[in-house]
Amino acid sequence: MSETHYRICPFCEATCGLELEVDGDRVTAVRGDDADVFSAGFICPKGPAIAELHADPDRLRQPLIKRDGRHVAASWDEAFAEIERRLLPIIAEHGRDSVGVYLGNPSVHNWSLALYGRVLIRALQTPHIFSASTVDQIPKQLASGLMFGSYATVAVPDIERTDYLLMLGANPFESNGSLWTVPDFPGKLRRLQQRGGTCVVIDPRRTRTAAAADRHLFIRPGTDALLLAAIAQAMFAENLVDRAALDGRVTGLAEVEAELVGFTPEAVSTICGIDAGEIRRLAREIAAAPRAAVYGRIGTCTQEFGTLASWLVDVINTVTGNVDRAGGVMFPLAPAFGQYGGPDATGVGRGVQTGRRHSRVRGAPEVMGEFPCACLAEEIETPGKGQIRALFTIAGNPVLSTPNGGRLDAALRKLDFMVSLDIYLNETARHADVILPGLSTLENSHYDTAFPSFGYRNAARYSPAVFAPPSDRPTEWQTLLRLTSIVSPEAHGASVEDLDDFVLATNLQRAVRPPSKAAGRTESDIRAALADRKGPERLLDLALRTGPYGDGFGADPDGLSLDKLLAHPHGVDLGELRPRIPEALRTPSGVIELAPQPLLEDLPRLRAALTRGNGEMVLVGRRNLRTNNSWMHNLPRLNRGRPLCTLQIHSDDAARLALRDGATALVSSRTGTVEVPVEVTDDIMPGVVSIPHGFGHDREGAVLSTARERPGANSNILADEMALDPLSGNAVLNGIPVTVRAA
């Protein structure tokens, strides 16, 4: 007998609703859920692969302990006992700083990890926190934090109402969007164009997104901040900025104008590879559009001026009056776990602060409570007080995802002890002494804790588990609490239940104060109302009910609760984005801060780039619909067809270097050399080559048998761990100087 289940796809930020047919313990069909209030039936090829992921024989189902160099199956009790036996003496002898944590991307897509990973981290009391954020979006969060007052307050294009969309360094036709939860970007772009709107794409490659746009401009990698500075400069110089309208609504307008004086379109044109006339045209078009939105993503973040580029995106949005207005860029209002100041909030807050600590070896400043993951290898290798000797990796694969993966791979071997929480034995986890497997994603319930804050629309959706987990296997939140009870000095030996109650208690304090919709109630009252639930479900019910759309535990009977979401398997639509200033802001001034000091102080570095030559060949990355960073190549339906790990190179460069299509090239950088098959194309800018990241599945000890059949090369062998955007600590993964030759 076949049953239908609805389940939000956990693989990427688009968060599509899936409709699954299930027969016993098998998934027999996967479709897009046409009735989903947010994604309306859209899916990509990865959605249906959820069935293969569930059935994958390589997916881990038992803990593993390394004995005599080999991973052998162990019981859960044995695995936790091994961690206690080996980790606690390291902490006792070398202190808490000797433990590091690396959090990978799926820890944002799995709410057990998102809500309880931080509990373990707090208990570890170590400054050595690293995550995929510093090979990804931290520059955007830092720029947003400095301008709007909070790392979580990121403005996203209001695509359904905009007239003009400028996109830099993003390819949502393949990635399905990022820091912008926007399922069916292709359909939304089509509708924008049908209503007379315009989309322009800036990318060193002519991507599928670029091909569908109205205009595409190649850009020399790493120069977006110069281009954006010139667009803004032209707007000021040509009097396209409505200064009167901004009066009282922003600080720093005059400073920005003064700082940008030298960045004229003519000054940046050669280095960006974009005609000055084109740059002026962009400035005029954005300013003239009734409603316009500028959006930058990976290509603008993972580069040497990542934070400046991200800032300048929102400088342009701000000076054209497009921040916080319909059709411009707006701040979604998440129903739970988001930022909400309440109807009376003034917008005044403490803002954000970085550099409260510095990394031991390189002195890199902490940002958002973490150090750059590019520092991880040196922190393991370098002796002295605070050297990392033990490491947790949680849903991550930094050997393939972070710069100088070769160095990190070697460094991990030197650890005294390593634990990985993963669903596969990946290229990183092969070094782990203990591996603790998560459940199949279909055995987990699901709520997106982060992505509603970046939604093209406001909505709330919850998916119960499709399959009951095997009774002998913990969920990941239980695993994390068990680890917490091992490492916590205060709660050592506490039960999972007691720790979960403690987690709830820390959330209850906020729940009875404004702007909670249950303000004025007592904590014990609320605790009693939640008594039937535990774990993430209990935290979600609390967050929904006290959140901006909540039922307030009775105050607003039509409001949201987990029961209400359970009664709406296709989700609850909460409407289009609405203006949220001042409530969304947390800045010291209470208004948008256009000229934060740390950003102005970084401008001389950008100014110096104006006089730079651009003779070198540079490497950029790319994504394909059939991939998801390093970890879905093991699913047969995604790992077929044309091999994806190729070196894209322009035909002029190929001819100059005598590289034929299909030949093998050797690509070298300061940090290493990889061998990759050549793909000659004119869809890439001359002087630029591209290799996708996430490949390199030929390492001994990893158990990914389908991925290993077509391993590809690890492009992060070439990324330089010393090259960072200094403000955010984000790695430079685009614009890497390389040499290319025939093998």
- Binding region for ligand MGD (CB under 6 A): 12, 104-106, 110, 132, 135-136, 168-172, 174-176, 178, 202-205, 207, 219, 221-222, 224, 297-300, 302-303, 395-398, 401, 421-424, 426, 438, 441, 476, 620-625, 627-631, 693-694, 715-716, 719, 733-735
Q: Which of 136, 259, 366, 602 binds Mo ion (CB under 5 A)?
A: 136
Size of interface with Mo ion, in residues (CB under 5 A):
1
Q: Is 463 in the site for ligand SF4 (CB under 6 A)?
A: no
How many of the chain's residues bind ligand SF4 (CB under 6 A)? 12
Shortest spacing between CB 247 and ligand SF4, in angstroms: 42
Identify which of 691, 684, 692 has the alpha carbon closest to the alpha carbon of residue 625.
692
Binding segment toward Mo ion, per CB under 5 A, in 129-137, 238-246, 256-264, 324-332: 129-137
With respect to ligand SF4, which residue has the nearer C-beta, 12 or 691? Answer: 12
Give me the least distance between CB of 14 and ligand SF4, in Å please.
4
Q: Whole-angstrom Cα distance, residue 393 to residue 6? A: 30
Taking contact as CB under 6 A, which single stretch among the options 11-19, 262-270, 512-520, 685-693 is the one that binds ligand SF4?
11-19
**Per-residue contact flags (x/-) with ligand SF4 for residues 423 to 462, judged by CB under 6 A:** ----------------------------------------
Taking the complex as a whole, how short is the minimal distance between the CB of residue 454 and ligand SF4, in angstroms?
Answer: 13
Report the nearest approach of ligand SF4 to the CB of residue 342 (Å): 31
Q: Which stretch binds ligand SF4 (CB under 6 A): 41-49, 98-106, 340-348, 473-481?
A: 41-49
364 versus 423: smaller Cβ distance to ligand SF4: 423
Q: How far is the CB of 133 from Mo ion (least distance, A)?
A: 8
Positions 147 through 206 that interact with ligand SF4 (CB under 6 A): 176, 183
Stretch that binds ligand SF4, among 9-17, 120-128, 247-255, 393-401 (CB under 6 A): 9-17
From 134-142, 167-175, 211-219, 499-507, span contacting Mo ion (CB under 5 A): 134-142
What distance in Å separates the CA atoms of residue 150 and residue 172, rounded to the nearest whole number?
Answer: 25
Query: Strand, helix or coil at 463?
Result: strand
* Min CB(314)–Mo ion separation in Å: 20
Q: Judged by CB, which is closer to Mo ion: 136, or 174?
A: 136
Smallest separation (angstroms) from ligand SF4 to the CB of 211: 19
Stretch that binds ligand SF4, among 7-15, 206-214, 547-555, 685-693 (CB under 6 A): 7-15
By DSSP bridging, strand 736-742 and strand 664-669 are antiparallel
Token pair for 58: 């390589």
**CA–CA separation, 617 vs 443, rounded Å?**
47
11 binds ligand SF4 (CB under 6 A): yes
Segment (H or E) for 615: none
Amino acid at 711: P
Distance CA 613, CA 220 (A): 11
Per CB under 6 A, the segment of 42-50, 325-333, 488-496, 709-717 that binds ligand SF4 is 42-50
How far is Cα 368 from Cα 363, in angstroms, rounded to an integer?
A: 16
What tokens were used for 525? 């009252």
* Closest CB to Mo ion among residues 137, 359: 137
Residue type (1 letter), 737: P
CB of 125 to ligand MGD, least distance (A): 22
Spatial distance between the Cα atoms of 524 and 509, rounded to a whole number of angstroms:
11
Verify binding: residue 184, Mo ion, rule CB under 5 A: no
Report the alpha-carbon distance of residue 677 to residue 110 in Å, rounded.
Answer: 35
- Which residue lies nearer to ligand MGD by CB, 394 or 574? 394
372 in Cβ contact with 136 (< 8 Å): no
Minimum distance between the CB of residue 441 and ligand MGD, rounded to whole angstroms?
6
Tokens for 313, please give them: 């995106």
- The whole-angstrom separation of Cα 49 and Cα 376 is 33
Q: Which does 479 bind (CB under 5 to 8 A by kind): ligand SF4, Mo ion, ligand MGD, none?
A: none
Handedness of CA 119, 121, 127, 129 (dihedral sign): negative
Q: Secondary structure of the chain: what % helix, strand, coil (to 5)?
A: 35, 20, 50
Close Cβ partners of 512 (under 8 Å, ≥ 6 residues apart): 518, 519, 520, 521, 522, 523, 526
The CB-of-175 to Mo ion minimum distance in angstroms stands at: 9
Residue (of 7, 114, 77) closest to 451 by Cα position: 114
| Residue 369 DSSP label | T
How far apart are alpha carbons 333 and 257 in whole angstroms? 31
The residue written with tokens 């492009």 in the block is: 715
Among the listed ranges 13-21, 239-247, 295-303, 422-430, the one in contact with ligand SF4 (CB under 6 A) is 13-21
Partner whose binding site includes residue 622, from ligand MGD, Mo ion, ligand SF4, none (CB under 5 to 8 Å by kind): ligand MGD
In the complex, minimum distance from the CB of residue 171 to ligand SF4, in angstroms, rounded to a whole number: 13
Cα separation, 277 vs 521, in Å, equals: 61
Please report how close the Cβ of residue 161 comes to ligand MGD at its closest, in angstroms. Answer: 22
**45 to 84, contacts with ligand SF4 by CB under 6 A?**
46-47
CA-CA distance, 476 to 178, in Å (whole number)? Answer: 25
Residue placing its CB nearer to ligand SF4 in the complex, 177 or 398:
177
CB neighbour burial string for 152-188, b if at least 16 within 10 angstroms, e if fewer: bbbbbbbbbbbbbbbbbbbbbbbbbbbbbbbbbbeeb
Question: Residue 16 interacts with ligand SF4 (CB under 6 A)?
Answer: yes
DSSP symbol at 446: B
CB of 527 to ligand MGD, least distance (A): 29
Name the H helices within 223-293.
Answer: 224-237, 243-246, 253-259, 265-272, 276-288
Pairing outcome for strands 292-296 and 250-251: unpaired
Are 219 and 204 in contact by the 8 Å Cβ rule? The answer is: yes
Structure tokens at 377: 């290898």
Which residue's C-beta sits nearest to ligand MGD? 299
Stretch that binds ligand SF4, among 8-16, 202-210, 218-226, 661-669 (CB under 6 A): 8-16
Binding positions for Mo ion, rule: CB under 5 A: 136
Binding positions for ligand SF4, rule: CB under 6 A: 9, 11-12, 14-16, 43-44, 46-47, 176, 183
